[in-house]
Structure 1
Amino acid sequence: MSERSAIDTIKGYFYQFDYSIKCLLELKNDNDSIIIEGIEDIDIKTATEETAVQCKYYSKTEYNHSVIAKPLRLMLNHFKNAKDGKSKRVKYYLNGCYKSGHEKLKQPISVEFLKSNFLTYKRDNVTYRHYESLGLTDDDLREFISLLSININATDYDSQLNSILELLKKQFGCSDFEAENYYYNNALNIIKSLAIENAIEKRRITKKRFLQLIDNKKFLFNIWFIKYKGKKSYLKELRRNYFSSLNASPFERFFLIEVPPSDSYNRAELKELLMIISEKYSRLSKREKNPFCPYVLLFNISNQELINLKTDLHNENFIFKDGFDFYGAEFNPKSITIEANHYNNIRLKIISNFPQLELTLKEITKTKEIYQFYISKPLLKKNYETIKQVNIQIEELRDIKEVI
C-alpha cells in the first residue's frame, strides 16, 4: 500500500470515528446512546427510535450507484429479518462523502429505481435480483424506502472535524486548544476502544457516560491522536504548548521515561537524552537565586543496565545524585533532594523505582511537575491532586528529544 493510499485509509477510519463522536455530542438526551459496529457502522438509539447508519468517506471518488448498492442490500437484509420478527425494526441512514457525481441520484427514489440501480446486479454473467431472493414485494420495498435516508452530500473530513470542535467548545466552555488536545483526543481514544470490543453491548455508550469520560484534562495523548495530527506536527505542538517555557521556572520536575525493549534499546541514545534533559532543565549559575535540576525515573531497564548507565555518566564527570550515600546504604530521600547549585554542580537526580519516587515527592515542599513518556500504557497510574501531570505516548526515545 502506498503512503498516499495509507493516509486515505486512515482518514476513512477517522471519518467514521468522528461521525460517531459528532452523533454522541448531538444527541438530545443524556440516556440516548450509540453502538459502534452494531447493525451498521453506527446505531443511534433515542427514546423514540433507532437508526442504523452506514458511513462512507470517498472524497476523491465520483459517486456511482454501484458504490452504495451493496450497503443498501445489506440494509434490506436486516429489513427482511425485521419483517420476519428476527430483528427489531429500525430506520436506515447512509451517510456518504463523494468528490462528484451527486447529480446522478435524484431523490426521493422510487421502487423501480431502487430495484434497477441498487438491488439488481450481475456476477459471473448471472443476473441477481436481491428483492426476489428475499421474497419482498413492491409494497415491502415502499416500506423499506420510507425507513431509508440517503445523503451523498455529507460534509468533508475537515468540515466535520471543525463542527466537532465547535460542539466540544460549546459543551465544555473551553478554548480551541483544549477542545482539540484534551476533549477530542479523549473522545477519539474512547471510540477507538469501543470499536475493538467483541460483545455488542460493550460497544454501546450513552451521551452521559461519553461526556463523563472525555471530561478529563490529564493531558493524555495516544498513538491514534498522533496518526490524526501527523507525528511531526504532534511533537511540534507538544513542545510549543508544554515545554517551550519550562526551563524558566524553578520547579521540581520529574521525567518518567519508559525505555524501549532490549532489541531496540541503545545506551548511548538514552545517555544523550538524559544529558539533554539535564542541560535544558537545570539552572546552576552563581546568579541563580533558586537553582534546580531535574529528576529522572527510568522504566523497563534492568538493575545491571542502570548501574552500567550510571557508571558511564560518572566516568564522564557527569555529576548526579541517586539517593544512596555509601555502599550498602538504603535510599535516602533527603540525600536525593539536596539542592543542586553552582558549587556541587549536581546536574541530574536519578530515581530507580516507584517507592523511591513516592518518598522523594513527599520530601519536596516546592512546586512539583511530572512528565511521563510511555510506549504502550502509562506506568504511573496514581493521580496527585497537587501535582501537574503530563502523560505522553511515544514510539521511540528520539520522540522525546523532539518534544522537550
Structure 2
Amino acid sequence: MTQYPSLPTDSRAAHAAIAGYEYQFDKTALTLLSAANTHVVQIEGIEDIDLHTGLRSEAVQVKYFAGQTYSSPKSLRDPVRLMLEHYKTGARWDYVLHVHFGNFGVMPDCFDVTLLKQSLTKKPRTGEVMEYFAGVNDVDLDDFCSRLRIIRGDSFEEQETALIAALRTAVGCDDDEVVAIYLAKAREFVHERARSDESSVRSATRQELIDWLTVKDFLFDKWQMQKIGADRYRAAQKRKLRSAEFHKTTKKRAIYLEISTDNFDETVSLCEVLARKHLGRLKSALPWTIIVGGTPDLVRKLKIELVRSGITFNDGHEDLEFQPRAFIANPVINTRGAGDRIERSSFILRLVTQDSFRMLEPSQFKISRFVSIGDEQNWMGDTADQVFALRHFEPVVYKQLMEEIA
C-alpha cells in the first residue's frame, strides 16, 4: 500500500511525486474498467491495486519514473522488496510491477533468482551489505519469481488516452464528453476511495464505477470546465442532452429556473424562446413546462412580461387557486390548412411555481425529461423519468444552450 510522504520541497521533485500519484490513480481506474463484473479491486490494499478474481489474488505496484533510466535490477529494489515481504507472510499471490521509466534500457519483464538477488542486495559505501532476501531459500525465491511480472507502463499521456478510450466504451459516448465529464468523475471515484481509512470503502467493482459515472447528475467541478474551456464543456452538455432525447418535441419536457434580479432578463428571454418554438411544429409536439422558484413579486413580474410579449401560458390559475386539472389539460390547437403544423394554440407554455407544481401527483403529470438550471433537487427525481442538471454557465449561455435543444 502506498505511503504518502510530505511532498519534497524541490518543485520538480514535488511535480514528479504528484504525477506519480495521478498515474497510479489512472491505472486503478483502468484496472476497474477492464475487470470482470465478479472481480473485486482493493484500492490501496496490500499494494497500490489488489485484484481478487475468486480464483487468485494479484497485487500490483504502480511506479512512474518519467525522469529516470532503468540501469540495473537495483532500479526496482524498493517495490520488489515490499512484494517479497508480503510473500514471506505465506501469501501465494501473483505480483505485478507496473512501472514507467523515461528510458527503459534493458529492463526485463521478469526476474530469475540471480536477478532478484541483485535487485535486493544493497551495498552501502560504509557499513554492512544488506540482503533483503535473507531468510528465504532459493526454492521459495524461485517460486516468488514465477509469480512476479514486470510490465513496461505507458507514459502518463498514453495511459490517459487509454483511460479515455475505456471510459468512452463503458459509458457509450465520444471523447469530448469523456474529457468534459467522465474523466474527472472516474478520477474522483478513485481519489475518494483511496483516501478512506476503511478497507471496505476502498474495495470497488467495475459496476460501482460505472454506476458512479452514469448517475443522473452529469456534473463536474469548475476547475475541470476551466481546464477544457467553456465552449467544449457546453458542446459536451449539448451532446449529452441530445443523446438523452431532451430535444424530442413529443416528450413531456420541463425546466426549473430560479429567478433572481440578476438573471431576470435572461429568464424572460428563455421563457419566450421555449414558448415560441412551439408554434409551427407538428400537432404531436408538446409545450414546455417551466417551473420557477423565486419571490412572489419576481414570479408575478415574469408573468407580466410574458403577457406583454404575447406569450399565452397555462399556470393552472395559481394566482387565484391552483387547479391541477386546468394545468394538465392539453391546449386547444389549430393547424395550418389541411396540414399538421400548429398555427395557433390556446397556450404555448406551461408556467408554474415550484410550490404549485409539487401539489401535482406524479401520476397526474409525469415529466419525461427534466432540465434543472442549477443543482438537482431531491423532489425532481420523483416527478421525472430523467433529470439533467446544468450549472457553471452564465445565464445567457443557458438560454443559448436551451434554444438549441428546444
Task: Give the TM bin, normalised by the shorter chain.
Answer: 0.5 to 0.7
Q: Paired residues, what number?
A: 368
CA distance in 1 between partners of 2:211 and 2:38 (Å): 16
- Structure 2 counterpart SS, 1:296: strand
| Matching residue of 1:64 | 69
**Kept in 2: contact 1:235–1:402 (CA 8 A):** no
CA distance in 1 between partners of 2:50 and 2:188 (Å): 19
- Structure 2 counterpart SS, 1:281: helix
Alignment equivalent of 2:31, drawn from 23, 26, 30: 23
Q: Considering only aligned residues, what root-mean-square deviation do their CA atoms show, in Å?
A: 5.2
CA distance in 1 between partners of 2:263 and 2:382 (Å): 27
1:325–1:392 Cα change, 3 Å: closer
| Matching residue of 2:352 | 350
**Kept in 2: contact 1:168–1:179 (CA 8 A):** no
- Structure 2 counterpart SS, 1:31: coil
CA distance in 1 between partners of 2:84 and 2:41 (Å): 19
1:268-315, Cα deviation, whole Å (9 max, x unpaired): 4432442343133223787566586533345xx6xxx52243244356
Normalization by structure 1: what TM-score?
0.65
Alignment equivalent of 1:313, drawn from 302, 312, 324: 302
| Matching residue of 1:267 | 260
| Matching residue of 1:200 | 199
1:44-102, Cα deviation, whole Å (9 max, x unpaired): 112332111123456xx3443499979852552353255245xx44332122344x311
CA distance in 2 between partners of 1:55 and 1:182 (Å): 25
| Matching residue of 1:262 | none
CA distance in 1 between partners of 2:195 and 2:399 (Å): 32
CA distance in 2 between partners of 1:8 and 1:312 (Å): 57
CA distance in 2 between partners of 1:340 and 1:192 (Å): 54
Query: Identity, % of aligned pairs?
Result: 19
**Kept in 1: contact 2:75–2:119 (CA 8 A):** no
| Matching residue of 1:296 | 290
Alignment equivalent of 1:332, drawn from 323, 330, 338: 323
- Structure 2 counterpart SS, 1:223: coil
How far is 1:185 from its partner?
8.9
| Matching residue of 1:394 | 391
- Counterpart of 1:282 in structure 2: which amino acid? A
Q: Does 1:33 align with 2:31?
A: no
**Kept in 2: contact 1:53–1:92 (CA 8 A):** yes
Note the 1:1-400 alignment, pairs <5 A: 16-27=24-35, 30-56=37-63, 61-65=66-70, 73=78, 76-77=81-82, 79-84=84-89, 88-98=91-101, 100-109=102-111, 120=122, 131-132=131-132, 136=135, 139=138, 144-154=144-154, 156-161=158-163, 164=166, 168=170, 191=190, 194-206=193-205, 209-210=207-208, 214=211, 220-223=217-220, 227=224, 230=228, 232=230, 233-242=232-241, 249=249, 251-256=251-256, 267-283=260-276, 290=283, 293-297=287-291, 305-314=294-303, 316=305, 317=308, 322-326=315-319, 329=321, 331-337=322-328, 339=331, 349-353=351-355, 356-357=357-358, 359=360, 362-364=363-365, 368-375=368-375, 379-380=378-379, 382=381, 388-392=385-389, 394-395=391-392, 398=395, 400=398
How far is 1:43 from its partner?
0.5
CA distance in 2 between partners of 1:311 and 1:121 (Å): 83
CA distance in 1 between partners of 2:400 and 2:194 (Å): 31
CA distance in 1 between partners of 2:224 and 2:276 (Å): 36
- Structure 2 counterpart SS, 1:201: coil
How far is 1:352 from its partner?
1.6
CA distance in 2 between partners of 1:250 and 1:280 (Å): 18
- Counterpart of 2:151 in structure 1: which amino acid? N
- Counterpart of 1:80 in structure 2: which amino acid? E
How far is 1:326 from its partner?
4.1
CA distance in 1 between partners of 2:300 and 2:233 (Å): 35
**Kept in 2: contact 1:333–1:360 (CA 8 A):** no
1:175–1:221 Cα change, 3 Å: closer
- Which of the two has higher C-alpha Rg? 2
1:100-130, Cα deviation, whole Å (9 max, x unpaired): 31125245446675566676498xx988966
**Kept in 1: contact 2:374–2:389 (CA 8 A):** yes
1:368–1:96 Cα change, 3 Å: same
- Counterpart of 2:263 in structure 1: which amino acid? L
1:162–1:286 Cα change, 3 Å: closer
CA distance in 2 between partners of 1:196 and 1:31 (Å): 24
- Counterpart of 1:31 in structure 2: which amino acid? T
- Structure 1 counterpart SS, 2:46: coil
**Kept in 2: contact 1:219–1:390 (CA 8 A):** yes
Normalization by structure 2: what TM-score?
0.65
**Kept in 2: contact 1:277–1:294 (CA 8 A):** no
1:154-183, Cα deviation, whole Å (9 max, x unpaired): 3722542365258648xxxx6768996999
List gaps (5 residues or longer) in structure 2: 1-12, 334-343
